[in-house]
Structure 1
Amino acid sequence: MDLFLILAAVVLALAGIAGCIVPAIPGPAVGYAGLLCASLAERSAIGGGALAAWGLAAAAVSVADFYLPAWMTRRFGGSRAGAVGATVGVFAGFFLFPPLGILLGPFLGAVAGELLHDGRDPSKALKVGMGSFLAFVVGTGLKFAVTIGMTAQIVADIWFRGQGWFGAAA
């Protein structure tokens, strides 16, 4: 059973890292599932405190990543239409033009939303689009950092636990 849990933990951790880039996969949640699998193994040193901390971190970055494009669009002077455009752009870009659409969708959506709202100021629309793109980069970076941290904890747990399985240190 431990071998299955360890393999599941590694596969889920790697899928979680991929999910930081691919919007269809909730990276931090999948990485956390890997951490849970690792913690259930017989000799795991991952405790409840670590699980709670990583769970809160995964939830926080997931929520932040959802709200960041609209929030940053507004912070860069965008209207509600620009914020809605950024949100629509995330999904439209993913489904219509993968993988490039994942990067360009929020930017183009925010620009389109702003131009529909007020077509008289294209430079403002571009500025708002850059804010949306920046939000995508920041959100992805936060998800990536948390998921890499969980993966490092999984690898450390497996490595140190494996030392006892394969013989004592000299």
Structure 2
Amino acid sequence: MDHFYWSLIIILFIVSFIGLVYPILPSVLFLIGGFLLYGFVFTFDEFNWLFWVIQGLFVVLLFGADYLANMIGVKKFGGSKAGIWGSTIGIILGPFVIPVFGILIGPFLGAIIAEFAVNKKEWKEAVKIGFGSVIGFISSVITKGIIQIIMIVYFFIVI
């Protein structure tokens, strides 16, 4: 039966990585779900207050990395708050509107449309901002992937 539970824990961890590119899946919840499943099925003895504080700090880093990478990507290429919001909406809606490629096209178009509609940017400048939003998203995925790997490695060190 242990194999079954370990398989579920590993599946939760894998789904957390899928959530990096499909933001509709809450990566953090799947990671924590894996930790909690281990605790309920096996034992919570290894999970002292330090474990939860460290994992909590990593969760804060995950949320911060998501927001900061998007903001820096858009701002660095000349975008405004409207571009950041448009990009964020595009990240969420993109995969539903355009399966597979929507995760990259969504933030790109979202930033362009927002900059056009709100700030009346020129086409060339809006496209540049859209490109920045994609760079920000890719940076966010890489950063969050590294943080999630660290969280999982720390989990295995503790247990």
SS of equivalent to 1:20: helix
* Structure 2: runs of 5+ lacking an equivalent: none
Q: 2:120 aligns with which of 118, 121, 124?
A: 118
Residue 36 (str. 1) matches residue 42 (str. 2): no
Could you tell me which amino acid in structure 2 is paired with residue 84 of structure 1? W
Structure 1 stretch displaced more, 73-82 or 104-113: 73-82
Larger radius of gyration: 1
In the alignment, what sits opposite 1:89?
Answer: 90
Once the two structures are superposed, residues 100-125 of structure 1 have per-residue CA deviations (whole angstroms, 9 ceiling, x without a partner) of 10111111111122233324x22211
For the residues of structure 1 that align with 2:103 and 2:64, how far apart are their CA atoms?
18
**1:14-163, aligned counterparts within 5 Å?**
14-40=14-40, 41-42=42-43, 45-66=46-67, 68-70=69-71, 72-116=73-117, 117-119=119-121, 121-155=122-156
Kindly report the root-mean-square deviation, in angstroms, between the aligned alpha carbons of the 2 structures: 2.7
Contact 1:70 1:84 in 2 (8 A): no
For the residues of structure 1 that align with 2:82 and 2:66, how far apart are their CA atoms?
19
Q: Scaled by the length of structure 2, what TM-score is found?
A: 0.79
How many residues align? The count is 157
Structure 1 stretch displaced more, 126-135 or 1-10: 1-10
* Structure 1: runs of 5+ lacking an equivalent: 159-170
The Cα shift of 1:98 comes to 1.8
Q: Scaled by the length of structure 1, what TM-score is found?
A: 0.75
The Cα shift of 1:11 comes to 2.2
Contact 2:65 2:144 in 1 (8 A): no
Identity %: 29
Contact 1:28 1:143 in 2 (8 A): no
In the alignment, what sits opposite 1:161?
Answer: none
